[in-house]
A and B are shown apart, each in its own frame.
Chain A
Amino acid sequence: MATLAQQIVNGLVLGALIGLIALGYTMVYGIIKLINFAHGEVFMVGAFGAHFTSAYLLPDAMPWYAALPVLCVAAVAVSVTVAVLMERLAYRPLRDAHSLAPLITALGVSILLQEVVRVFYPGATAPLPFPRVFVDSQLTAGSLIVQWTGVLAVAVSPLLAAALHWYVERSRLGRAMRAVAEDPDTARLMGIDLNRVILATFVLGAVLAGLGAVLYGIHYGQIDTTMGFQNGIFAFTAAVLGGIGSIRGAMLGAFCIGMVKSLAGQYAWGGAQYDYVWVFVLLILVLMFRPQGFLGRLERVRA
């Protein structure tokens, strides 16, 4: 019973963190129908940006309430910079190309970023300890242990998703984003600057990925160059599961995946070594019976 409760908590935390990455996948797909496989690396470089700030720029002894905001700003700054460069240099020149070209490019950008960080970041050939701000205190209830970092992640992530949803539904930029998502040509005829809207979408996704990276780092206590790839795959799966293009769907999918991975790792055949398998079994099952995902809309082919 205690184990079950503990695994549910672990699943919720993982889901909350994956959700923040999944939002970036789902938004970019919604706007330009591109699975940006390098989005996991936007998350990863954010974590390294925060690590760099903490290891080389901040004084050693800083209280968590001072350090945490600085780490968030650093991570977001690095994530946004990388996402903007990625969009400008890799994807924008391919805007009118066949959709396979940007997809392959995204895979290339993903590998490039992983390798650049691995080769040039000091010590990144092995996992690096993340600054232990905020990490030692925990909440205990009987034998159940909940780290405060986990509570923070589970509280903040849905709030950020709700804020994003509100922004897309209510703001002027959000209106432009929805217009571009529905019909880019008509949106341009209304005077909407396509490049600006697309760039803004990448920026929003990167902000969430950067914040997610800090939450991930302080919770799990270490980061490495493959964290973006691994969690990116989960996040992409979450976005598809929830219905790609849907903000609420991405969050829902992420919590499902966190839960399945956590519970299957404990109880299912094969244990933790096979927890990946069950995530993708879930994906396959859902796509068989509901190809558009939980909250997705079926694509209608325009004549």
Chain B
Amino acid sequence: MTLIAENVSMAFGGLVALDDVTLTVPDRAIIGLIGPNGAGKTTLFNCLTGLYAPTSGRVLLDGRPLEADPAEAARHGVARTFQNIRLFSGMSALENVLVGRHTRIKQGLMSALFHGPAFRRSEAEAVERARAELAFVGLDPAGDTPARSLSYGDQRRLEIARALAGDPAVLMLDEPTAGMNGSETTAIRTLIGAIRDRGITVVVIEHDTKFIFSLCDHVHVLVRGRMLVSGPPEAVRTDPRVIEAYLGTTECSK
């Protein structure tokens, strides 16, 4: 399973959010995506998950072009979380994860309408799996709590559990530690490692560069819609272009 953005550009009216971006997401790795605010990181996520149709260029999933159809992307194993948490707040934690499982449940219309034995079996399996994902991210496997009454950190975990329930090959996390304290951030780092160990590729957007450089196998730096630098963390960290993008240049340093 490889996910490739090939020369992707995205313009909203006159604003060019992505300019000829190419990104390859390899199997079983943790990929970091960093860049200043407004660099186009979330826009790139939206293109990779089928929410946006790129203005030009294309997204390839296992070599096949991805339609701008999020349900299609989900079926092919691309899952994500959001920078501003987007849970189904009126549903319980368990129900949220069950919705995440939706794409992997075969839907016989008759069976679904009349709740036959096949339906009950697959529903029971889905519930069991959903509880396992809740436990995996460190939430109460009962999952009775309405999503809206969970703490902020737990809502982020629940979003990850919901994404994992769809058996993704690639999991895209948009600022998973935003607003978290130090110990919560450490816990998320451990969780991301455990996800990778399950054989799932993780793509992370983060502002916390320390977090990214210590966690990722590859780091991509996006600046003003262009892919500035890509490479292993050590090389990216010391790249003068990255330092310039983050810290700016002064007359003195020149």
Contact = CB atoms under 8 A, between A and B. Distances in A.
Given A190-B74, A190-B166, A191-B75, A179 B99 contact: yes
Given A182-B88, A182-B89, A183-B86, A192 B102 contact: yes
Contacts of A90: none
Nearest to A195: B71
B124 interface: no
Contacts of B99: 175-176, 179, 187, 190, 192
A176 B82 CA distance: 19
Contacts of A185: 51, 70, 86
Interface string A183-203: 101111111111000000000
B86 A172 contact: no
A187 B123 CA distance: 19
Contacts of A175: 91, 95, 98-99, 102
Contacts of A172: 102, 105, 107, 112, 119, 123
Given A178-B88, A183-B86, A188 B71 contact: yes
A189 B79 contact: yes
> Considering residues B80, B82, B102, B104, which has the most beta carbons from chain A within 10 angstroms of its beta carbon?
B102
Interface of B: 49-51, 69-71, 73-75, 79-80, 82, 84, 86, 88-91, 95, 98-100, 102-105, 107, 112-113, 115, 119, 123, 162, 166
Interface in A135-191: 171-173, 175-176, 178-179, 182-183, 185-191
B70 A189 contact: yes
A303 interface: yes
A181 to B, nearest CB: 9
The contact size tier of chain A is: 20 to 34
A173 B112 contact: yes
A166 to B, nearest CB: 11
26 contacts: A171-B112, A171-B115, A172-B102, A172-B119, A175-B95, A175-B99, A176-B99, A176-B102, A178-B90, A179-B88, A182-B89, A182-B90, A183-B86, A185-B86, A186-B82, A186-B88, A187-B99, A189-B49, A189-B79, A189-B80, A190-B74, A190-B99, A190-B100, A190-B102, A192-B99, A303-B84
A182 B74 CA distance: 19
B178 to A, nearest CB: 14
A182 B87 CA distance: 9
A99 to B, nearest CB: 20
Contacts of B79: 189
Interface in A59-79: none
A72 B228 CA distance: 66
A192 B72 CA distance: 9
B102 A186 contact: no
Given A175-B99, A189-B51, 20 more contacts: A173-B113, A175-B91, A176-B102, A178-B91, A179-B88, A179-B102, A182-B88, A183-B86, A186-B88, A187-B88, A188-B69, A188-B71, A188-B74, A190-B71, A190-B74, A190-B166, A191-B104, A192-B99, A192-B103, A303-B84
B110 to A, nearest CB: 12
Contacts of B88: 178-179, 182-183, 186-187
A173 B84 CA distance: 26
Contacts of B162: 190
Contacts of A176: 99, 102
Given A176-B99, A176-B102, A186-B88, A191 B166 contact: yes
Nearest to B115: A171
B90 A191 contact: no
A186 B96 CA distance: 11
